[in-house]
């Protein structure tokens, strides 16, 4: 049998198993070595079949992790009070966050402007990865006024939640005052964190959240993986 027919047959067999639910959305396929043993071919032939499935959008390779069946995008509402955990739970998935860094430093010009701070004022910066069922949805970075929330780093480290940390500081409710969306491409660092290829499509969301008096409490930027979320803007 011709080599192209072999990899094509393997791709067709895997496609049929995916369609039948043998591998559900987000499921990891067997390794190249396991598939090669199963079909009695070399790994190059298996790799060709998997590449064909990826071209069809059925699977997605993740560097260092394996090949996964493409997940159904998570519905993600951008509303005045909708939070990350609420969005993911509503989609039937389990939310989690992996914190990459928490530090205090002078605000950058964009941060100072967004938070209405004098130049040089310090902010607490928290950066991390938002996940649904362990799959990265976005890379986030938030800046908050350090003088107003002196205990934020400790609370954030302990709770893992910006909302919970703000609640401990007396801000029990806050709303989204502004959202700006821009299409971007993943750089090498973002691609590594988000388990996508460098250059993959991202959607950058820039937001400012305010307290009940309209005072800015958080300036946030999130880089969402384009094919893992469906962003829905909810009008006021």
Which residue is listed with tokens 């995008």? 73
Question: What is the predicted pLDDT for the residue at 36?
Answer: 96
Please give the Cα distance from 106 to 123 (Å, whole number): 6
Please give the Cα distance from 175 to 211 (Å, whole number): 7
Say yes or no to pLDDT of 1 above 80: no
3-state secondary structure of 168: helix
Mean pLDDT across the chain, nearest whole number? 90
Q: What is the pLDDT of residues 103-134, one digit of tens each?
A: 999 999 999 999 999 988 999 999 999 998 78
- Torsion, CA 33, CA 35, CA 38, CA 41, rounded to 10: -80
Question: What is the predicted pLDDT for the residue at 59?
Answer: 87
Domains delineated in the chain? 3-69 (1.10.10.10), 74-233 (3.40.1410.10)
Alpha-carbon Rg for the chain, nearest whole angstrom, is 21
Range 167-187 average pLDDT: 94
3-state secondary structure of 78: strand
3-state secondary structure of 115: coil
Q: Which two tokens stand for residue 214?
A: 């309209």
- Give me the percent of the chain exceeding a pLDDT of 90: 62
Range 202-222 average pLDDT: 96
Please give the Cα distance from 98 to 96 (Å, whole number): 7
Report which DSSP code applies to 27: P
Question: What is the predicted pLDDT for the residue at 170?
Answer: 96
Please give the Cα distance from 33 to 78 (Å, whole number): 42
Q: Among 121, 126, 101, 100, which residue's Cα sits nearest to residue 111?
A: 121
For residue 192, the surrounding DSSP H or E stretch is: helix 188-194
Please give the Cα distance from 219 to 195 (Å, whole number): 25
For residue 185, the surrounding DSSP H or E stretch is: strand 175-185
Q: Is the dihedral of CA 54, 57, 59, 64 positive or negative?
A: positive
Q: Is the dihedral of CA 180, 216, 90, 63 positive or negative?
A: positive
Say yes or no to pLDDT of 2 above 60: no
Report which DSSP code applies to 28: B
Q: What is the pLDDT of residues 11-63, one digit of tens each?
A: 999 988 887 778 887 789 999 999 999 999 999 999 999 998 888 778 888 87
3-state secondary structure of 225: strand
């Amino acid at each position: 049998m011709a080599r192209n027919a072999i990899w094509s047959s393997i791709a067709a067999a895997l496609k049929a198993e995916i369609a039948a639910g043998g591998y559900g959305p987000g499921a990891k396929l067997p390794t190249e070595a396991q598939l090669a043993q199963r079909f009695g071919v070399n790994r190059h032939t298996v790799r060709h079949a998997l590449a064909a499935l990826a071209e069809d959008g059925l699977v997605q390779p993740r560097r260092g992790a394996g090949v996964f069946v493409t997940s159904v995008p998570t519905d993600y509402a951008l509303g005045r009070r909708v939070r990350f955990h609420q969005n993911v739970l509503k989609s039937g998935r389990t939310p989690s966050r992996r914190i990459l860094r928490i530090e205090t430093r002078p605000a950058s010009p964009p941060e100072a402007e967004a938070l209405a701070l004098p130049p040089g004022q310090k902010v607490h910066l928290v950066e991390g990865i938002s996940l649904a069922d362990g799959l990265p949805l976005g890379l986030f970075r938030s800046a908050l006024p350090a003088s107003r929330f002196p205990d934020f780093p400790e609370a954030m480290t302990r709770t893992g939640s910006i909302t919970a940390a703000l609640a401990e500081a007396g801000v029990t409710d806050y709303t989204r005052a502004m959202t700006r969306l821009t299409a971007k491409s993943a750089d090498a660092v973002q691609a590594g964190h988000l388990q996508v290829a460098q250059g993959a499509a991202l959607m950058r969301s820039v937001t400012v959240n305010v307290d009940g008096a309209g005072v800015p409490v958080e300036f946030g930027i999130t880089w969402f993986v384009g094919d893992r979320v469906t962003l829905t803007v909810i009008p006021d």
